[in-house]
């Protein structure tokens, strides 16, 4: 197991990175996984589901990382601690997940153990696991760990830009400037060290930009949530109307037993 500098943008900054496969898929042994359980619209425009991340050798490496975490988390923790003991990681930066996220409490807890045990190394991450961080990180965060909550996930509604450090993906640089946000395009470290709130220009991937349609990810996610709520409400209304039209068992029995002639008082059958 090794930390890498395979991400071109991070390599220019001298940042090491640890990666998992992005979002959901199947491992070679047939097991299903989801490394981004709180992903929302971001899954439809994730840079880590495109380009070099899909190369067989890259995908295999990320899956090997995940299998080690799943099958032997204590062994992974020891191996990560051993690797980070090398002098090259003193005062170095490590980005946890340039793809994937903290997908379980136990996995996040293992990372916190590693981070606290290596105080001379600086760690940072983007995450959509807001509730998990509220519980496990925010009460007592390691001094060498920085994080930013990124929009586009199912927990967006729990974020407060006035209190939380947040990042949003915009269509382009001009959109970030117009919104009064602060771009991290010059350096990924600005996401956690620069002024807030943080704007990220969308990757120049044509089919992803078409899906984004000029929206900020926070707006895109809010629209998706509203549409989902509308569909759910319409379905509930339809079910209610249907139930009102269906006679009860007692009503059906009395309908069959009504007299051959004369006025039928429906209210007596209710």
The CA angle 263-268-270, to the nearest 5 degrees, is 130
pTM of the shown model:
0.85
Average pLDDT rounded to a whole number, residues 49-53: 91
Q: Tens of pLDDT along 149-174? A: 999 999 999 999 999 999 999 999 99
What pLDDT does residue 241 have?
Answer: 84
Pick the more confident residue, 128 or 250.
128
Sign of CA dihedral 158, 162, 166, 168: positive
Q: What is the tens place of the pLDDT at every residue in 227-257? A: 989 998 898 888 888 877 766 666 666 656 5
pLDDT grade for 179, boundaries at 50, 70 and 90? very high
- Residue 221 scores a pLDDT above 50: yes
């Amino acid at each position: 197991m090794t930390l890498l500098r395979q991400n071109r943008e991070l390599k220019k900054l001298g940042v090491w990175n640890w990666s998992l496969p992005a979002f959901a898929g199947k491992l070679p042994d047939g097991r299903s996984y989801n490394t981004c359980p709180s992903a929302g619209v971001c899954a439809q425009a994730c840079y880590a589901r495109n380009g070099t991340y899909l190369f067989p050798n890259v995908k295999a490496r990320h899956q090997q990382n995940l299998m080690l975490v799943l099958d032997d988390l204590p062994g992974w923790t020891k191996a990560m601690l051993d690797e980070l003991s090398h002098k090259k990681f003193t005062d170095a930066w490590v980005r946890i997940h340039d793809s994937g996220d903290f997908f379980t409490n136990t996995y996040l807890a293992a990372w916190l153990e590693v981070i606290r045990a290596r105080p001379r190394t600086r760690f940072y991450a983007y995450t959509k696991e807001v509730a998990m961080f509220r519980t496990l990180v925010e009460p007592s965060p390691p001094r060498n760990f920085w994080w930013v909550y990124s929009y586009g996930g199912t927990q967006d509604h729990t974020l407060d830009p006035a209190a939380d450090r947040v990042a949003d993906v915009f269509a382009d640089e001009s959109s970030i400037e117009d919104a009064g946000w602060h771009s991290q395009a010059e350096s990924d470290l600005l996401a956690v060290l620069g002024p807030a709130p943080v704007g990220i220009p969308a990757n120049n991937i044509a089919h992803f930009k078409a899906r984004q349609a000029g929206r900020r990810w926070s707006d895109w996610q809010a629209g998706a949530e509203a549409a989902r709520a509308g569909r759910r409400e319409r379905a509930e209304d339809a079910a209610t109307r249907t139930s009102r039209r269906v006679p009860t068992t007692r009503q059906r029995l009395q309908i069959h037993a009504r007299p051959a002639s004369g006025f039928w008082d429906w209210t007596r059958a209710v």
